[in-house]
A and B are shown apart, each in its own frame.
Chain A
Amino acid sequence: MVARIRSAGAIAAFLVMFFPFLTLAEDVNFSVIPAEVHIDNLLPGESAEFELTIHNKDEIAHNFTITTFPPPEEERREGRAQFPSDSWISFSCPRIEIAGTSQANATVTVTIPQEQKWAGRDWEIWLGVTPESTDLLAVKLYVRLLVSTSGTMFNAGLVTGIAVAIVLLGYGSYHYFRRKTKPE
């Protein structure tokens, strides 16, 4: 039966918290390279990829997970807006096991949907790398990812329209001047 404990100090609450191990384990020692990535001139409809290197500096193997995190406005670089969707970012391995004193790479792919409204934007999102742990204290390292899309977007319809207009203009001018110069 579950006991309900109300008063402080009167009844000892026999609850064990935070894993009462006697050892004070040291946290996983690891690093991530690079700390900041800029992707510029990315056109809507295109993808770009780069590699994150996670270095496990411990003697034993650890599992690391990579996730995205939308930083609040005050933490973002000046002029950067929130990245519209973390579904545009994928990882080759969102969970990766790295042997002791070893490093491994994870490929990050950024894909912008092919919509004109995403052209000419500056965004920021963070990529968080953390070792799996059940300890009370954990460390997470963030990589700043700054993505800028190109302001001009190729528009096949517009280019074709201009080409057709020029040809028709040339053709019309030719006939106009031909008629005009013809003796009546």
Chain B
Amino acid sequence: MKIAITSTAIAIILALAGSLPALAQQNSTSSITITMTGLNEISISLDKTQWPLGTVASNTQYETIPQIEWCTLTVQGTCNVNTFIVGDDAKWVSDPGAYKWTLSNDGTNGDHIYGLWFRISGDTTRGYVPITKTQGEFWPYSGGSSLAPGNTKQFGLRLLTPTYFYSGRQMATQITISAVAA
């Protein structure tokens, strides 16, 4: 009996002596897996990036020409994408921190507040959509489908200038169109 218990205790101790280092080793080299799905390449392109408006008047609406087929977005790469658009305040080029037009959150205008809109050719349900400082859908994939490689979408922009602003200042803004794997 004594021999049996002693043997059991020794066996337990030996088992633990062997397993504890193994557990410790598992901690330092756990099996992290990094998967890059099919090494997909993501890419979109635009065929133009500038809108040469020149001088503008207050409280006036400007649209690209042609209205909704002004710029073409092309999906390149190898994966389907969901697309988004986001705008920003327009800042005085000479001193961006001193003066700006605030981008409205609904496309309307006000004093020193301007509106931006976009419209995609073929998007018959939404028409012109306000561009805001919160990233929103570009192509309405939630109501349709994502864009596949080779797909193109033409769109145009609309600018609504502030009801009043300081004249003689060159302003600049940026609209970012983004894509993520669908």
Contact = CB atoms under 8 A, between A and B. Distances in A.
Nearest to A162: B16
Interface in B50-86: 50-60, 71, 76-79, 82
Contacts of A31: 41-43, 76-77
Interface string B34-53: 11111111111111111111
Contacts of A156: 24
Interface string A84-99: 0000000000000000
Nearest to B175: A137
Q: Is the interface of B mostly helix, strand, loop or mixed?
A: mixed
Contact of A135 (B16, B59, B174): B174
A20 B59 CA distance: 20
B52 A5 contact: no
A37 B151 CA distance: 24
Contacts of B50: 18-19, 21, 23-25, 135-137
Q: Is the interface of A mostly helix, strand, loop or mixed?
A: mixed
Interface in A92-149: 126, 128, 130, 133-144
Contacts of B39: 33-34
A15 B169 contact: yes
A36 B36 contact: yes
Contacts of A8: 57-60, 163
B129 interface: no
B9 A26 contact: no
A29 interface: yes
Nearest to B57: A13
Contact of B43 (A4, A23, A136, A141): A141
Interface of A: 2-9, 11-27, 29-43, 46, 48, 50, 55, 71, 74-75, 126, 128, 130, 133-144, 150, 154, 156, 159, 163, 166-167, 170-171, 173-174, 177-178, 181
